[in-house]
Amino acid sequence: NVTKVESDRHKFKVPTLRNVATSYPYFHDGQVTTLDEAVRKMGHYQLDRELTDKEVAELVAFLQSLTGHYMGTPVDQLK
């Protein structure tokens, strides 16, 4: 409860989804190692339902499409 606001309890600040396919393990404690499992868990806990295999595959494909390559100069190499 960082904000001390009751309505903020059990909320997490979620990082960007860019490159999420390469940033496993997932969740705040690293308990999940695949996007498939992460999407299924989020469907269960956040939507209160089980996602179909097709829904999971479509969401995972979308998340994988967010993977890219950094084309600039890393901060530690700037002069």
- The model's pLDDT over 11-45, given as tens digits with 9 standing for 90+, comes to 877 788 999 999 899 988 999 999 999 999 999 99
- Whole-angstrom distance, CA of residue 14 vs CA of residue 34: 17
* Model confidence at 60: pLDDT above 90: yes
Structure confidence at residue 79 (pLDDT): 75
The structural domains of the chain, with segments of one domain joined by +, span 10-68
Residue pair 8/1 in contact (Cβ under 8 Å)? The answer is: yes
Spatial distance between the Cα atoms of 25 and 5, rounded to a whole number of angstroms: 29
Which fold would CATH assign to domain 10-68? Cytochrome Bc1 Complex; Chain D, domain 2 (1.10.760)
pLDDT band, very low/low/confident/very high, at 59 (cuts 50, 70, 90): very high
pTM: 0.72
The label of the residue with tokens 């595959």 reads 57
> Which residue spans within the chain are E strands per DSSP?
none
pLDDT of 71 strictly over 80: no
